[in-house]
Amino acid sequence: MSEGSEARQETLWAEGELPPRPEVTERLPGPQGGARFQPVDRQQMLLRPVEVDKLVEPQHWVRAVWEMTGQLDLTAYTEAVRAVEGVAGRRPYDPRLLISLWIYAYSEKVSSAREVARRCEYHPAYQWLTGCEVVNYHTLADFRVDHQAALDRPFAQLLAALSSEGLISLEQVQRLEQALEELQKVQAAAQAEAEPAERRVSATEAEARLMKQPDGGSAPSHNVQISTDTAHSIIVGVGVTPEGNDQHQLIPAVEQVEQQNGRAPQQMIVDDGYTTRANILAADRGLDMIGGTMEDHAEATRRRLQARGLAPEFYPHNFPYHSASNSYTCPAGQTLAYQRTQHDRVGVERDYYQARAADCRDCALRQACQPGQHGRMMVRQENVPTVAAYLAKMQTEAARAAYRRRAPVAEFSNLWLKAKLGLR
């Protein structure tokens, strides 16, 4: 501050325009009694309007539970209901409500019918489900007991879908609906298997399927198919499938390449997962397929007979074949005559030969041969000409050299996507 400004300030103070504040030397006396606060009365009774739908926020996952139970087929629960329109009698609780209550209770690790009934009295989520009605615990318990077997499956399915990936918002209801649709597909496929197994789907990735991982475990995954041009190492086709193996993906890959590039490839080099007789036959329509060699049928037969305990001298390759009579002779000198040819497997012909039951019944080598009730049978399996030609081609040096070009190109693309782009 300059000397001139100090002089002006003294003049202002002197003129009295800004008088100085007096110093406070004393405080006013305070209250003499104790402090008073607003009391909290938890014993009072209140009567106030309640908008039930606003008891839980729009994102609350109890809404997802209610939406998903609405997608279930509850015919089995409604057929036995005797209370119908036009007939006197007390109306029972909607089975959808009771199922929803139990599912939501289980999701909160509540398994007691009494506790569920108690929560219906005060818990906003339970009150939202019931419309602020209290469901008697006897009703809840009886419903669970009467329908235990029928309820186990939907409980397990919906709880798995709701709890997987931390599902807690209504925004994911659409994905849950898709998950149930996909679950019906995989369960329908499971029923067609010899030994149907429990199947589940991911709520966040409904089209994913449980697939084996490199670490030996399993996880919901997608099978990504990549087609790469060997000349320029450029990805020319990409497909995504829920199937866990590659056996049925060759033709879709060819179609994908043709769609993306305007023309079909002349040659496809594939790994062992694609090398099936069905693919060899399908690729015979103008596509040069280069791939692995399939398991030798004779070797597979040998392992099967060894597991059965058959003596090695009675393996099929020890039975002499006679082309003139189209028959075989067993080590004991008995004839196995031609019976029939079947085409029950893709890409192969299976010729059946069998000895007479009477010849095997009194044979001294019966125990070692294990002929069975109707006489010793043998099956000769031969590839159809197209498959046989493919296997012969894969024995040539040119085909083997072409196959060796696959790994550096195809595996590099997969590795780059996984390691560099993080799409593991």
Contact assessment for residue 308 and residue 343, using Cβ atoms and an 8 Å cutoff: no
324 or 25, higher pLDDT: 324
Identify the sign of the CA torsion 404, 406, 407, 412: positive
pLDDT reading at 404 higher than 70: yes
Report which residue type is found at 222: H
State both tokens at 371: 């002929």
User: H helices of 164-269, where?
Assistant: 173-191, 250-261
- The pLDDT tens digits of the residues spanning 180-217 come to 566 566 656 655 555 445 555 565 666 777 788 778 78
Secondary structure (DSSP) of 49-101:
---GGGSS-TT-HHHHHHHHHTTS--HHHHTT----TTS-SPPPPPHHHHHHH
Q: Three-state SS for 327?
A: strand
Q: What is the pLDDT of residue 329?
A: 92
Q: What is the pLDDT of residue 114?
A: 93
The C-alpha atoms of residue 383 and residue 370 are separated, in whole angstroms, by 27
Report which residue type is found at 253: A
- The pLDDT tens digits of the residues spanning 60-110 come to 878 988 988 888 777 777 776 766 776 776 788 888 899 899 888 877 878
State both tokens at 388: 């046989």
Q: What is the pLDDT of residue 70?
A: 84
Q: What is the pLDDT of residue 120?
A: 94
Q: What is the pLDDT of residue 55?
A: 93
The C-alpha atoms of residue 190 and residue 168 are separated, in whole angstroms, by 29
User: What pTM was estimated for this model as a whole?
Assistant: 0.46
The C-alpha atoms of residue 404 and residue 398 are separated, in whole angstroms, by 10
The C-alpha atoms of residue 156 and residue 159 are separated, in whole angstroms, by 5
**256-268 average pLDDT score:** 80
Percentage of residues in the chain having pLDDT higher than 90:
15
pLDDT reading at 313 higher than 80: yes
Report which residue type is found at 66: W
Contact assessment for residue 383 and residue 377, using Cβ atoms and an 8 Å cutoff: no
Per mean pLDDT, which range of 52-66, 95-109, 282-296, 336-350 is the poorest? Answer: 282-296
The C-alpha atoms of residue 202 and residue 179 are separated, in whole angstroms, by 7
pLDDT reading at 235 higher than 90: no
Contact assessment for residue 275 and residue 337, using Cβ atoms and an 8 Å cutoff: no
For the chain, domain boundaries: 51-82+92-221, 222-293+397-420, 300-383
Give the pLDDT band of residue 310 (cuts 50, 70, 90): confident
DSSP label of 420? I
**2-15 average pLDDT score:** 50
Give the pLDDT band of residue 354 (cuts 50, 70, 90): very high
Mean pLDDT, rounded, of the chain: 78
Strands (E), 265-331: 267-269, 288-290, 321-322, 327-329
Q: How far is CA 188 from the centre of its chain?
A: 13
**310-329 average pLDDT score:** 88
Secondary structure (DSSP) of 333-401:
S-EEEEEEEE--STTEEEEEEE--HHHHHT-TTHHHH---TT--EEEEEEE-HHHHHHHHHTTSHHHHH
- The pLDDT tens digits of the residues spanning 112-150 come to 899 999 999 999 999 999 999 989 999 999 988 887 766
Q: Which residue carries 């993306």 as its tokens?
A: 260
State both tokens at 409: 């190109």
Percentage of residues in the chain having pLDDT higher than 70:
76
Q: What is the pLDDT of residue 364?
A: 87
| Adjacent-strand bridge partners of 227 | 237
198 or 266, higher pLDDT: 266
Contact assessment for residue 334 and residue 359, using Cβ atoms and an 8 Å cutoff: yes
Report which residue type is found at 31: P
Query: 173 to each of 59, 65, 367, how far by Cα in Å?
Result: 10, 9, 64
Rg (CA), the chain: 39
- Contact partners, residue 286, CB within 8 Å, separation at least 6: 264
| Adjacent-strand bridge partners of 348 | 383
Residue 250 has phi, psi (to 5 degrees) of -65, -55
- The pLDDT tens digits of the residues spanning 160-179 come to 555 454 543 334 445 545 55
The C-alpha atoms of residue 376 and residue 355 are separated, in whole angstroms, by 5
Contact assessment for residue 169 and residue 64, using Cβ atoms and an 8 Å cutoff: yes
Q: Three-state SS for 174?
A: helix
pLDDT reading at 8 higher than 70: no
Give the pLDDT band of residue 234 (cuts 50, 70, 90): confident
- Contact partners, residue 115, CB within 8 Å, separation at least 6: 105
Q: Which of 147, 253, 165, 241 is nearest to 203 (CA)?
A: 165
Contact assessment for residue 190 and residue 152, using Cβ atoms and an 8 Å cutoff: no
